[in-house]
A and B are shown apart, each in its own frame.
Chain A
Amino acid sequence: MTGLRKTMQIGSLAIRYDRAAAIGALILLAATGALAILALSIGGYPLGFNGLVAAVSGRLEGMDSLILLDVRLPRLAAAIISGLALGAAGALFQALLRNPLATPDILGFTAGAGCGAVAVAGAGGASAWLLTGALSGGIVAAAATFLFAYKGGLSVYRLVLVGVGMSFLFSGVTDYLLSRTDLLTAADAAKWLAGSINVQGWSGIAIPAALTLLMLPLVVWLQFLLDRMRLGDDMAVALGVPVNAARWLVALTGIALTAIAVSVAGPLPFVAFISGPIAKRFVGTGSATVIPASLVGAFVTVAADIAARNLLGFVQLPTGIFTALVGAPYFLALLFLRSKSGQI
């Protein structure tokens, strides 16, 4: 544990915070902000930095204003929201199960959430219900994965492998559902399943955005519980942490955040997985990493979305392709190093 916990006094309110994590989070915030400005200014219809300055001073009109306010900004918001949620969810599960491989995308929860959302879309449900479908699918997938991995105890590695199997099963169900819907819905859903941030205006992301922002304080609080639980269950109980209740709360929060992200951007692969380890590199191990991890998630997703929109000019690629291009090699490298050092 680091001895870098500081206490900030604001009136009668005392907030304990982790200095390394706070500094790291500020740097990540600045980096994400810079990336966001880039995301807003470039694209098939370039606005440039001047365009943004004009927008801030209220001098932006016509097409420029339409592009910025109704196209770029909602899309940027969607990328940030889904990245924040996935990064936080990944770091929560990594801390809960004490293993970098244990994230919602690897454990099959995102596949379950995607399946649930497709079921709702296929049944003709309005987009507001997508979140409900994603949440139900995510909970079912998580429950099934934990249930089938349980064998006189819970081995994280068995959990991970059962999660791989569950992903296959849920992708199969999704494929079946897609073959039952009309071709137009199926084509849309296929694009979304590849991880596409493709929002139409603000209506689709208002609720997910509000929910994510509401959950961030909860995530910070859970981080404190998880820090105590890292000392071992006995110690955590002695420190007054209701360990079992905390585990349930962490798992449910992680699943809810995953479902929110999936309902906005589809099952973006590997974002939840890479955010935690990168954040750890950044703020040092032993620090509170959930919030830095969520910022890394936002950074990665916005960067992937910029690449997806601009790299090939004439054709827009799903954002998920780029998160996979970054995440999968990272996963393979981690696996290689862990194998080499005999940890797996």
Chain B
Amino acid sequence: MSSVSAPNRPVLPLEIGHQGLIFAGILAMLAVLAFAALVIGTRYVPISDAIDAFLHYDPDNPDHIVIRLMRLPRLIAGVLVGAALAAAGALIQDMTRNPLADPGLLGVNAGASFGVVLAIWGLQMSDPGQFIWPALIGAGVAGFVVYTIGSAGSGSATPLRAILAGAALSALLFSLIKALLLVSRQSLDVYRFWIVGSLDGIGFDDITPLLPFFAVGFVAALAGARALDAILLGDDVARSLGVNLKLTRVWNTMTITCLCGGAVALAGPIGFVGLVVPHIARALFGVNTVGVVFFGALLGACLVLASDIVGRLVFAHDDLQVGVVIAFVGAPVLIWLIRRTRIMRQ
């Protein structure tokens, strides 16, 4: 094992005091990004008006409406999606001992998206609040298929098999999505409000029904993370430490499905957050799944907010931004990780 798993590094790279400082730094960064996400956009809103929108909300002031009804829900959605994908990525990486795991790379997001599009097409679903159920089923099925193919034969799943299976399954599902959308104009119209990998046009109506799923997902992630530390040491060691392997796997799989399903139902498939962020969190806070999930969630929120802001500044009129901007960060990180990881059993 071991060189496949990320944590063959010094356990605590930083002193506890430094970690506190970094934690404070991340919170400050999140606050700054959140403020920037409210102020920056196509429509110029002076900072004083942005603050006023919260202190003295005036429903007749267009600036206040933009801040409260458009940019605020978009900000909250970005935080939720980034945190959920990062936490899910940390869980997948530690559970499969695969440092290259990511809900996007492993086809889980594609499965959730296919579930949603299928429901829009077949069940005439049009309320984004209902998207969560097909998203959960799709994410679960896709994860199961990739895991089955990845772990066929002897030995555990290797990063190579898992990523290739995820890439092929994603290609298949996105082709089917394209076909369904072209077949049915009605689906296309609903789908347009749920653009692939974008935070554009999200309102509070879309967020509220999903909040329970995010809440359950985050609590379950933190609760189940401790057992994963033992699994990182190998199945045998974990068993001798009294960890119930089956229960841990089932628990974390359901948590991952819940977090990814919620993120996709809200913003469509966004890749690479779950790949990149856990590595940053591990480098800053050491290998400790609870810590990686918690700090990773904060860092994931920062990454998605920052990417959304960059997208708004750089991209002219297309609304695919967040996913695309993150791909520019994520793809090079993926290649770098491939270079330093043993990708298959020797």
Contacts and interface: CB of A to CB of B under 8 A. Distances in A.
A243 interface: no
A342 B154 contact: yes
Given A165-B331, A168-B271, A151 B339 contact: yes
A179 B315 contact: yes
Contact of B332 (A169, A270, A320): A169
Interface in A317-334: 317-318, 320-321, 324-325, 328-329, 331-332
A335 B183 contact: no
Interface stretch (A129-137, A154-162, A219-227): A154-162
Given A270-B171, A332-B169, A172 B327 contact: yes
A79 interface: no
A69 interface: no
Interface string B315-333: 1111011001001101110
A298 interface: no
A318 B176 CA distance: 11
Contacts, number: 132
B175 interface: yes
A328 to B, nearest CB: 4
B175 A325 contact: yes
A312 B314 CA distance: 39
Contact of A168 (B161, B164, B330): B330
Interface in A157-209: 157-158, 160-162, 164-166, 168-169, 171-172, 175-176, 178-180, 183, 186, 194
B339 A344 contact: no
B318 A317 contact: no
B156 to A, nearest CB: 11
A324 B171 contact: yes
B149 A324 contact: no
Interface size class of B (residues with CB under 8 A): 35 or more
B163 interface: yes
A336 B152 contact: yes
Contact of A328 (B175, B183, B334): B175
Contact of A332 (B153, B168, B314, B335): B168
Contacts of A315: 182-183
A12 interface: no
Interface of A: 101, 148-149, 151, 155, 157-158, 160-162, 164-166, 168-169, 171-172, 175-176, 178-180, 183, 186, 194, 269-270, 312, 315, 317-318, 320-321, 324-325, 328-329, 331-332, 335-336, 339-342, 344
Interface of B: 100, 145, 148-155, 158-161, 163-165, 167-169, 171-172, 175-176, 178-179, 182-183, 271-272, 314-318, 320-321, 324, 327-328, 330-332, 334-335, 338-339, 343-344
Given A166-B335, A168-B271, A325-B172, 6 more contacts: A161-B100, A165-B335, A269-B175, A328-B171, A336-B149, A344-B160
